[in-house]
Structure formats: C-alpha cells, structure tokens
Amino acid sequence: MSYTRREFTRGMSIGAGGAALVPLLRQMKLHAEGDKDGMPRRFVFVVKSSGLTGEAIRPIGFEKPVNEKVLDVALKDLQLAPTLQSLEPFKDQLLILDGLSGRNFTGNHSSYYGALSCHHAPEKPAAATIDCILGDMFPAPFKNYGFSANGHSIGNNFGPIVQETAVFPRISAHGQNKPMAYQASAEKAYRELFGSVINLAVGGKKEFKLQENLLDFLSEDVRRVSRSVSSLEREKLDHYLGAFDSVRARNVQLTGMSDAIRRNAPELSTQYSSKVFADRISLFFDLSAAALITGLSNVISIRADWLSTKYESFGFGSTSVHDIGHNKVTRNGLKSVDARSVIRKFQVDQIAGLAAKLKAVPEGNGTMLDNTLIIYMSDGADAHHSQRKNWPFVLVGGRNHKIKNEGRFLRYPSYQKAGHRTIGSFYNTLLQASGSQPQDHFGQIDSHLKDLDLKGPLQELLA
C-alpha cells in the first residue's frame, strides 16, 4: 500500500491531535478496574555498545554452548553469571536468550538502526525500529522516550562524552529516514517530562503555559506562507504544522496528568549537572522509573554507552569502550575482558535497580514490573567486531507480557543449524505477544538462512 504525502500528513495530524487521548483514558479506566489483560504493556530497551558476549551472561555450568538443538533450562537451581548477580531477586521473571543471529544488519562496530529494525541501516534508518513500533502500539504522552549521554552530531561521534542536548545515537527510528532523538541532558529530560507542573528556574510551569502562544503564532505563520505556495510545497508545510499539533496534543495530556506528575517527579539534585558518565546513566534509569510510574511513557530506550564512552569514574582513565574492544588495558590495569565485566555489572545493576523500583509499585493484582519488560542487549551482537551470528539478550520483568520468561535460559541452535532463529523472530514474537497481527517476518531476511524455516514468532517464548 502506498500513501501520498498529503494522505500521510493528514493521517499524522489526526493521529496526533484527535486520537491521542483515547488510549490514556482507556488505560486509566483499566487501572481503576485492575484488569490484568488490559494492563498497559511497558518496555525498556537498554542498548549497550561493543558487544554482549554469550559467555558473559550464560548461567554457571553452561558457559560452553550447546550448538545443535534448542536448550531450555530453568534458572531456578542455577547460579547466574557473576555480572548478573544483582538480578537474583528477579530470577522468577528473567530470561537469558542466546543463539539468535542478525548477520545481515551490518555496520562497522554497530548495526545502528539495524539492531532494532532488522534492516541494513548503518547510515540512516531504513525502517521503523521495534521500540518505536511498540511506542505506537502503547501510546502515552511521550510515545517513546530515549536517553543517551551522547550521540551523533552531523555524522561524527567525537563530541563530549556527556552532552547537554538532544542527540541521535542512531538506534531508534519512527520510520525510514525518521531518526528518533534521545535526550542527553538529565536536566532537560527532567524539564520535558515533569516541567509542566513544577516551578523551575528555567522552563517549568510558566513556560509550559506559554508554549501555547508559540504554537499558535507558528501555526499562523505557516498558514500565511502556505497561501502563496503550490500544493506540493504546501505538503512540506503540513508536516511542520503536524509537529505543532502533536506538541499541543501532548500538552493537553500532560495537563490532565498534573497530579500524578507532581506526585512522582524525582527530586532535582546536583547530580543532574554532573558530567560524570556513570552518574548520568544512573540518572537516566531514575528518570525512566519515574516516567514509567507516572505513566508519561510506556516505551523507553536507554543508550547505555557508546564507543567513545570513557568510564573515568571506574578508574579506566582515557581508555574508551572502543579501546577496550581492541584489548587496551585500562589505566587501573584491567584487561579487556575484566573491564567489560565491570561495565556490564554496572549496567545490569542499573537494570536491577529499575526493576526493584517497579516491583515496589502495586498494579492490578501484581506489580508494575509484571507489566514492564526490560530488554538488555548490544547494538552489535556478541563482539566488538561481530559477525552477528549470535546476538544474546537478557530480559527482566514483564510477567504479563505473554512471553514465557519465568526464569529460563533458552538457547537456539547455532547459525545455519536446523532450528536456528534470528533476532527478527524475537521481535516478531514481542509484537505478536503484544497483540499485533501475526506476521511471517520482522525486517529483512538473511539470505544465508534461506534453507531454514524462520517464519512466525519463537514458539518456545509465546505463552
């Protein structure tokens, strides 16, 4: 099916302006009724850089993989890998997923948008990514929210390690050529998410109200120009008008949620202006928890680190994640494999912290964690320069997501072996479990796997 741009624009502004309130109301109603099946589904994607190896996350005793058949063991009586220890309290809703591939989504150290869209997209987005698709399926005032301490500015990654503006880490996209911005600044994220009801020195309540003036003024300006241009060019301006409409719609929603926002907004602290990379990441997890609990967003993506990231507060000195990938010893004398463990433990601890916060909030017959699936992965499969023949994931929470993740280590047969599956199959499973129409595939198909049956979701995972 193909749309004209005008049809597309029209659809976009209707979607943003009119229909946006409906899901929120539905959600609020369900909250009140405690309907388990109708509970909001939430997702948190935590995407790290430079690979996540299978060996590092497999339970003790299973480090060497079985390659020929599906391996499915309960985690209950197993010991988790050392860097995954903090997930012990969540073992009953933990899934270690191993053996999937994504060989055709190439890039140098990263598959970039391909990691979440299953398209070859190292340079610019070729299709919508799974987080943005889920954001559309489970809308909230912010359909998606992304946190990343740094990201691209005009095609280079040499900016400061901790930036203070909107960035593009090249991970998420709303569609072809529509990259999703992440927020690098913790302060700005705070203002965006919670500023509508709080008096702040910059931004805050006062400015939130004044935004309406700005949107009205800009809309009028666009309409004035529209009158003097031809139809094709007017479509460009319709896109611009559409942007104002969605901001307006969001503001209406935020106004309606002011009590909840006031109640759940975290305390602003000096840590918000800290330039220490690890501090910033911790804040991102705090902000994510607060945003999820408030209902500001149901899908959050966190870029956990980046090739040029330097974990100076861990004593690594100027050794970057990229350097570690190339076996450079850190300033405090850690070899690559040990430095990677320190980083991984830090990230997993953050995830555990988020899970604990969500578990503390009752929802329906259980807790918010039951309705929130946290997905930990790398943008470049299992190695610094990966062939992407194994792309491991760690899944925490989401008991009600209709995914069988009740404490399992699930490993699929190796690349090209009978029964092998891809990360596309996994995303397809997430979509189908989330109520999407069944599809054969998600994303592009690996031509090296044409002899395998890759159709449909991962049956082992579907509840």
Please report, as ranges, the residues that interact with another protein according to CB under 8 A.
2-5, 12, 16, 108-109, 123-124, 150-156, 159-160, 163-168, 174, 177-181, 188, 202-203, 206-207, 209-211, 213-214, 217-218, 221-222, 225, 228-233, 236-237, 239-240, 242-244, 246-247, 385, 447-448
Nearest residue (CB) to another protein, 272 versus 314: 272
Nearest residue (CB) to another protein, 176 versus 271: 176
Nearest residue (CB) to another protein, 80 versus 171: 171
Which residues, in sequence order, are CB contacts of 294 under 8 Å at separation 6+?
A: 193, 194, 257, 260, 261, 263, 264, 265
Distance of closest approach, residue 98 Cβ to another protein, in angstroms? 25
Distance of closest approach, residue 201 Cβ to another protein, in angstroms? 9
Nearest residue (CB) to another protein, 177 versus 269: 177
Distance of closest approach, residue 14 Cβ to another protein, in angstroms? 14
Nearest residue (CB) to another protein, 188 versus 331: 188
Nearest residue (CB) to another protein, 118 versus 167: 167
Nearest residue (CB) to another protein, 185 versus 429: 185
Nearest residue (CB) to another protein, 51 versus 151: 151
Distance of closest approach, residue 298 Cβ to another protein, in angstroms? 19
HSE-CB of 111 using CA atoms within 13 angstroms:
30
For residue 113, give the nearest of 393, 426, 444, 384 by alpha carbon.
444
Distance of closest approach, residue 186 Cβ to another protein, in angstroms? 14
Distance of closest approach, residue 251 Cβ to another protein, in angstroms? 13
Distance of closest approach, residue 247 Cβ to another protein, in angstroms? 7
Distance of closest approach, residue 222 Cβ to another protein, in angstroms? 5
